[in-house]
Amino acid sequence: MLSPVENSPNMDEGPTGGAAPVERLAGPALDADRPPAPDVPRWYYVIHGRRMGPISTVEMTQLLLRGPYDPLMLVWRQGMLAWSPASQMAELLLPGLSALASPPPVPVDILRAERLRRNARTNSVAFAIVFGLVCVGILSGLFSGAPMSGLLALAFLPGLFVTIYFPLRYRVIQSLSPGYRLAGLVGGIGLLIAFWGLLLVLVLRNIL
């Protein structure tokens, strides 16, 4: 029996009047062999012994994530030879089953460095504000004839804090953006000068 190709009326004849041999060309794969698009319902799954589906890849992933996730739940899609546990389907992007499912944890040193920078930004702004207030208070006290001890008390707490904090976080403040760095350096150094300057003047007055 001849195949449909051999019975075709458009076939060229050979030199002896017989049918010329037909060369079969390798064409593209049949549509049935091509995997469907990700959003096309194609996944089947088994729950409580019943076959369910088909659903899309997105719906399948959401179903598994809603949980409780059963890694042994059997799933199947076109192109698979047999039912397989969901834990073996990396394309579903289940947490812990695929490297693409979730980013790796952030290293502890990076988190600590970011916390230090955030704290330094807050303190830099606070240094600048407090230094401005201390300067206003000192100038007002000088013009009103306030005692030196009162002026020192005004700058005592912020000056003591900066004395401890500033040397420890100087490199962190230097790594900040220009605005925060300027506020931290001006405010911190200014409070140091105000505190230790007033303390030195008060000590010298008592000595002399």
Q: What is the pLDDT along the chain (208 residues), one digit of tens a residue?
A: 444 444 444 444 444 444 444 344 343 343 444 554 556 768 888 877 778 888 888 888 878 777 655 667 788 888 888 888 887 777 775 554 443 344 456 567 777 888 898 999 999 999 999 999 988 988 888 788 877 777 778 888 888 999 999 999 999 999 999 999 999 999 999 999 988 988 888 888 778 6
HEC string of the chain equals: CCCCCCCCCCCCECCCCCECCCCCCCCCCCHHHCCCCCCCCCEEEEECCEEEEEECHHHHHHHHHHCCCCCCCEEECCCCCCCEEHHHCHHHCCCCCCCCCCCCCCCHHHHHHHHHHHHHHHHHHHHHHHHHHHHHHHHHHHHHCCCHHHHHHHHHHHHHHHHHHHHHCHHHHHCCCHHHHHHHHHHHHHHHHHHHHHHHHHHHHHHC
